[in-house]
Amino acid sequence: MTIDGNSLTALWWAVIFSGIYHGINPGMGWPLAVSAGLMEQKHWALPKALAMLALGHLLAMLAILLPFSMMTVLLQWESEIRIGAGMLVIAMGCYLLINRRHPRILARVHPSRLALWSFLAAMAHGAGLMLVPIYLGICAIGSSEAGHLAARTLMGNNIGNALVVAFVHTMTMTIAGGIIATIIYFWLGLKFLSKTWFNLDIVWAISLILVGIFGIYSTYAGH
Amino acid sequence: MNMRPDPTFHATAQLAMQAPVENYGFTIMLSPDGEQSDGIAVVDLNPDSSTYGQIVHQVIVPHKGDEFHHFGWNACSSALSPLTGHAFLERRYLIVPGIRSSRIYIIDVKDPLNAKIHKTIEPEELFEKTGYSRPHTIHCGPEGIYVSTLGGGGEDGTDGPPGIFIMDCETFEIIGRYEMDRGKQDKHYDFWWNLPQDYMVSSEWGLPPQFEHGVVPEDLLSNKYGHSIHFWDLRKRKNIQTIDFGENYQMALEVRPAHDPSKSYGFCGVVVDTTNLQGAIFTWWRDDEGNWQAKKTVTIDPVPADADDLPDLLKGFGAVPPLVTDIDLSLDDKYLYVACWGLGEMHQYDVSDPMNPILAGKVELGGIVAKHKHANGKGFAYGPQMVEISRDGKRVYWTNSLYSTWDDQFYPNDEGGQMVMANVGDDGGFELDKDFYVDFPKGYRSHQIRLEGGDCSTDSFCYPNV
């Protein structure tokens, strides 16, 4: 129980940490919020842009997590699902590592359609997939605690978990990205835009691989 | 791929102005008769260098008769676009098209003194993948490098309209045509855009038979060259509005939008008004309803001349037309430089109020009749033509050739290539620098100039000035 409790806490911290990580990645959109604020020459354009980016990101998380929450009801397949998900995340990481080209589809989105852009950016970079092993870990602890629950209740719990995971992740992402965007917009100026922009492509791809390995490992380790 | 954005990428035009100044210039070397191969001259622009103002390296291509004209960088400040996030490209390659051969060279200038050809795209590949020919203007934008063309398919480039094609910014593979709906656009020349506002503007010269063998006087006098500009929804790839300046405004060439992307206006130079031989600048802008408008805001008068002093082409008119063949806007959107190739003058207009440009300075050099000498006493073939401004706006460089066959018609007795520079005063005005005068190797003429680290007709900025 205490081990489970600790693991659960660690997993929720992972959700929060992943949010911060996505938030500081320029590829997830904080420079767009700066640009929107400056282009519209109104301060409120910045929080509005952040909200649109958050909406797109949240939807992208749900688009990935909800199908997995449906699958968690297949309790007898739990290990296979978690291992499969881990392998999927590793595969995405490998793909991004090998294919270093940027997705051209993002260049076709109109600059004002921030939510759509954010959704597509998150999908193209496997941002949602990065959460799947963490999410399945949380669900696994939930199901072992509540093994006697009816499948319907379990699924309800797991859908709830997906919503909370997506929400908490997106919130921390928005706060992290928002802080950077705000500091650059109000204080540091655009010179720091290029100074704070690091190439995270490889780090990002490796993160996916590591999270995938963690997912598979934790399945065998019991959670 | 870098770990950090290329230091020559700047979020705003303001930041680009504060960046370190240029040390090298890259200038087209054109062999007008195809006797020699064309090339790129690397010019030392560092006043503290012992080779200042000299050609310190040449990249001469293996083919002959390409006819180099315009060219551009593989990457610019547009890579900092928050939408595409291509921040880790290097500004390293020059894309150099031959407008006669349709061959495209990718030249690696990472080390300017050892610049070399990185890749050659053969004309057949361009024809096959796009149906266009005679590639011209280069800009780096969403989805890759955009290249305008002057010709369609077929031997003389009139099989279908010319347009823009897109090239991959890393592999330099030609991806394909840009246009989904070109509307009335049937000729092409220059184009540029405003990336955050998502619009593009393109202009018109004429079709290949109208320029390749020289200007066709009958076509000019019957107003058959281009006289419209086209506005595009950049990402929808759709022509949303065409503005016809009026058929007498022959050859709407360079398009120069304000560099600050929060502004919705720009300029376009017109070579000649066939009703009175004037040169003209149009200011175009987006009105409150979102429609595009254009208005003539500068006219430059022709100068009467004795028929004996004029080339055959102009004898009947008894005057020298200004021939506005290139314009360039400083990064602070303050000064517009206008080349009057026929008169032999470079004008500087204060365009702080874009609807009311004010002549702030003038340099006289060359000219069909005037034949002004340089401040150092040397001659200058033809007149001021391709103009490029340093990022900080303090130096203006220009060369003298317009286009091989046209040079010979307007200046039948001139020959040679020169590149000069003028220093801009703190409160406007500009004067030729006596110590900067690049004479090109025998048999070569000079055309467009690109500056190391970007210049005023290359970079597209994605964030407004603060």
* pLDDT per position as a tens digit, B203-219: 999 999 999 999 999 99
Which segments of B81-209 are extended strands (E)?
Answer: 93-97, 104-108, 116-121, 133-141, 144-151, 164-167, 174-177, 191-194, 199-202
Residues of chain B with Cβ-Cβ distance to A52 below 8 Å are none
Distance CA A102, CA B69 (A): 31
The whole-chain average pLDDT of chain A stands at 89
Q: What is the ipTM of this complex?
A: 0.87
Mean pLDDT of B289-304: 98
> What percentage of chain B carries pLDDT values higher than 90?
95
Identify the CATH number of the domain defined by range B13-451. 2.130.10.10
Q: Which residues pair with B326 in a beta bridge?
A: B339
With tokens 């693991």, the residue in question is: A7
Q: Which candidate in A108, A117, A202 is best for mutational testing of the B interface (most B CBs within 10 A)?
A: A108
Q: What Rg value do the Cα atoms of chain A yield, rounded?
A: 18
Phi and psi at B213, nearest 5°, equal: -105, 20
pTM, entire model: 0.94
Q: Tokens in use for A10?
A: 């660690």
Closest-CA distance of chain B to residue A83, Å: 33
Cα–Cα distance list, A139 to A2, A5, A49, A145 (Å): 16, 13, 33, 10
* Confidence band for A1, pLDDT divided at 50, 70 and 90: very low
Distance CA A112, CA A117 (A): 9
> What SS3 state is found at B265?
strand
Choice among A102-106, B120-124, B405-409 with the minimum mean pLDDT: A102-106
Residue B174 above 80 pLDDT? yes
Residue B78 above 70 pLDDT? yes
Which segments of B380-464 are extended strands (E)?
Answer: 387-389, 395-399, 418-424, 430-439, 445-451
Residues of chain B with Cβ-Cβ distance to A100 below 8 Å are 1
A74 compared with B402, residue with greater pLDDT: B402
CB contact under 8 Å between B80 and A191, yes or no, is no
* pLDDT per position as a tens digit, B356-367: 999 999 999 999
Residues of B with CB under 8 A from a CB of A: 1-5, 7, 9-12, 15, 80, 82-88, 142-144, 170, 195-198, 235-236, 261-262, 462-464, 466
Mean pLDDT of B267-290: 97
Mean pLDDT of B335-349: 98
Residues of chain A with Cβ-Cβ distance to B1 below 8 Å are 100, 199, 201
* Confidence band for B378, pLDDT divided at 50, 70 and 90: very high
* pLDDT per position as a tens digit, A203-216: 999 999 999 999 99
Residue ranges per structural domain of chain B: 13-451
CB contact under 8 Å between B86 and A102, yes or no, is yes
pLDDT number for residue A223: 54
* pLDDT per position as a tens digit, A133-184: 999 999 888 777 665 667 778 788 889 999 999 999 999 999 999 999 999 9
- Containing B133, the helix (H) or strand (E) segment is strand B133-141
Choose among B4, B235, B236: nearest Cβ to A198. B4
* pLDDT per position as a tens digit, B84-97: 767 888 999 999 99
The whole-chain average pLDDT of chain B stands at 96
> What percentage of chain A carries pLDDT values higher than 70?
96
CB contact under 8 Å between B235 and A201, yes or no, is no
Residue B466 above 90 pLDDT? no
* pLDDT per position as a tens digit, B310-336: 999 999 999 999 999 999 999 999 999
Do residues B413 and B26 touch, judged by C-beta distance below 8 A?
no
pLDDT number for residue A41: 83
Q: How many helices (H) and strands (E) does chain A have?
A: 9, 0
Choose among A111, A190, A201: nearest Cβ to B11. A190
Choose among B1, B3, B11: nearest Cβ to A100. B1
Q: What is the dihedral of CA B92, B98, B102, B107, to 10 degrees?
A: -20
Residues of chain B with Cβ-Cβ distance to A26 below 8 Å are 82, 85, 87
Choose among B3, B9, B466: nearest Cβ to A194. B9
Q: Tokens in use for A3?
A: 């081990």
Q: Which residues pair with B334 in a beta bridge?
A: none
Q: Tokens in use for A86?
A: 């881990």
Q: Tokens in use for A32?
A: 């767009």
- Containing B319, the helix (H) or strand (E) segment is strand B319-320
